[in-house]
A and B are shown apart, each in its own frame.
Chain A
C-alpha cells in the first residue's frame, strides 16, 4: 500500500475543506471496502480523510413522531442497524438486511454511508435505499434514491460532497431476500420489496451494473400483493450484467425467485 497523509477532522465542514481541490484525497468511513482496495493499489490516494471523529454521524432517530421518517447517521455500522431496537421495530426488513451484510467483523466496522458512497453493484444497502424510497442527506442537499445511483460504482455525489445521513420513510411492510455469493456474501442477486400506503416498490441489487427497480412487478403487486405475481415478471435484459460467472438467464431466474421470497417474507 502506498503511503498517504491521514486526517481526522472534527467537523463535516473541515472534512469538505480537506477534499476541496484535491482530486487525490479520499474519505474513510469504516474502510471495509476501501482498505482492501488500497491494499491492492487499485486506488492510491494522497490523503485519507477519516470521518470517525466527527460528532453527530452515529445517531439513529425517528423524526416527526411514530409516523415520521427513520434517520440513520452515515457512520452507523451495519451491526448497529441490525441490532437497533428502533430499526427492528419500525423497519424490520432493513434491520434484517443489515444483519446479513458480509460477516460479523465487517458488520462491526462497515457503515451505511460508506456502503452507499462506494455503490458496489452487489451491495445490499442500495436495494433497501431504492425500494424504501429513502433520501440520501449530504452536507449540502438531499438526494432521492431514484436519482442517486448513476452507474457502476457511480453516484450523484460531488467529489467533495459528504453523506451525513440516510432518511427512510417507514413502510407498512418490507423484506429483503438475497442469494449470497458463498465466498464473499455479496448478493449474486438481492431483491427488496416495500409495501407502502402509496404503492409497492421493488429494487434489485447484484444482477446489474447498478441497483434497479422492477416497475412491472411493482404495478402488479400494488394491485394484488401476492408472491405469484413474480412468476410473470420479466427483467429487462438491458438491466442485467453480462460476462460474469452467471448468465443473464440465470440472473433473471434468480430475480424471480428472490422476489417471491421477499414478497412471502413481507406477509
Chain B
C-alpha cells in the first residue's frame, strides 16, 4: 500500500491505495465520487475524463499514485453553490445528451477546451472532442452546446 495526498474538488484527502489502483477507482470507490463514469476501461471513450492540475486526462489511464500531490477536479467540482457551470447549462439547453453516460467526460473536456480556446471554430470543437465517444447523439448537439457555452463565457454571462 502507498499513502498519497491529493486535493479533489478543493478538498484535501490522504488515502492508502494499492499501487495498481487507477485514479478513476480512487475517485469512484474510495471517495464515492461516482459522477466520473467508466465507459470502456480501455482508455478510448473518455467518459472517465477529469482534470489533473487543470488538464483533462482519462482517469482510467492514470494510476492513483501518479496523482499524489495533484489537484483533481471532477464533474462534481465543476458547479459551485448549486449553480450549473455554463457548459452544463449549454448541454441542457442544446439537448447535448441522450442517455447521459458520456456527458461528465464530455463536459470536463469541453470546459478545458474553451478555457484554452475561448472562441473555437466548429472544426476545433470536433477535433478537440476526438477523445470522447458518444453513442447516442451523433455529436451535433454536443458541438452546438460547446459553441453556445463558449459564447456565454465570452459574453461574461452566467
Taking Cβ atoms with an 8 Å cutoff, the residues of A that contact B are 1-6, 28, 31-32, 35-36, 38-40, 48, 50, 52, 79, 102-106, 108-109, 183-185
Report if B94 contacts A (CB, 8 A).
no
- Bound form: Cα–Cα A55–B62 in Å: 20
- Bound form: Cα–Cα A105–B55 in Å: 8
Would you list which residues of chain B between 35 and 73 have a CB under 8 Å from chain A?
Answer: 41-44, 46, 49, 55-58, 60-63, 65-66
Is A103 in contact with B63, judged by CB distance below 8 angstroms?
A: no
Contact of A6 among B41, B58, B65, B113 (CB under 8 A): B65
Given that A6-B2, A36-B42 are contacting pairs, would A105 and B57 also be in contact in the complex, using a CB cutoff of 8 Å? yes
Chain B, residues 136-147, CB within 8 Å of chain A (1/0): the string is 000000000000
Contacts of B113 in A (CB 8 A): 104
Contact of B20 among A4, A32, A36 (CB under 8 A): A4
Q: Closest CB-CB distance, A108 to chain B, in whole Å? A: 4
- Bound form: Cα–Cα A31–B66 in Å: 10
Given that A31-B62, A35-B61 are contacting pairs, would A106 and B19 also be in contact in the complex, using a CB cutoff of 8 Å? no
Q: Count the B residues whose beta carbon is within 8 Å of the partner chain — how many?
A: 29
19 contacts between A and B (CB under 8 A): A1-B20, A2-B20, A3-B18, A6-B19, A6-B65, A28-B63, A31-B62, A35-B63, A36-B43, A36-B61, A39-B41, A39-B42, A104-B112, A105-B57, A105-B131, A106-B43, A106-B131, A108-B56, A108-B57
Would you list which residues of chain B between 101 and 139 have a CB under 8 Å from chain A?
Answer: 109, 112-113, 128-132
- Bound form: Cα–Cα A28–B66 in Å: 10
Across the interface, name the chain A residue whose C-beta is closest to B112.
Answer: A104
Contact of A3 among B20, B44, B61, B109 (CB under 8 A): B20
- Bound form: Cα–Cα A203–B47 in Å: 35
Is B57 in contact with A109, judged by CB distance below 8 angstroms?
A: yes
Q: Closest CB-CB distance, B87 to chain A, in whole Å? A: 15
- Bound form: Cα–Cα A81–B140 in Å: 30
Across the interface, name the chain A residue whose C-beta is closest to B23.
Answer: A35
Contacts of A4 in B (CB 8 A): 19-20
Is B131 in contact with A104, judged by CB distance below 8 angstroms?
A: yes
Is B62 in contact with A103, judged by CB distance below 8 angstroms?
A: no
Contact of B109 among A6, A104, A184 (CB under 8 A): A104
Contacts of B18 in A (CB 8 A): 3
Contacts of A28 in B (CB 8 A): 63, 66
Contacts of A105 in B (CB 8 A): 46, 49, 56-58, 61, 109, 131
Q: Closest CB-CB distance, A113 to chain B, in whole Å? A: 16
Contacts of A3 in B (CB 8 A): 18-20
- Bound form: Cα–Cα A6–B131 in Å: 28
Q: Closest CB-CB distance, B51 to chain A, in whole Å? A: 9
Would you list which residues of chain B between 1 and 47 have a CB under 8 Å from chain A?
Answer: 2, 18-20, 22, 41-44, 46
Q: Closest CB-CB distance, B27 to chain A, in whole Å? A: 15
Q: Closest CB-CB distance, A44 to chain B, in whole Å? A: 11
Given that A103-B130, A183-B44 are contacting pairs, would A5 and B19 also be in contact in the complex, using a CB cutoff of 8 Å? yes
Given that A5-B19, A104-B109, A108-B55 are contacting pairs, would A31 and B61 also be in contact in the complex, using a CB cutoff of 8 Å? yes
Contacts of A106 in B (CB 8 A): 43, 58, 61, 131
Contacts of B130 in A (CB 8 A): 103-104, 185
Most chain B CB atoms below 10 A, which of A50, A79, A104 = A104
Contacts of A35 in B (CB 8 A): 22, 43, 60-63
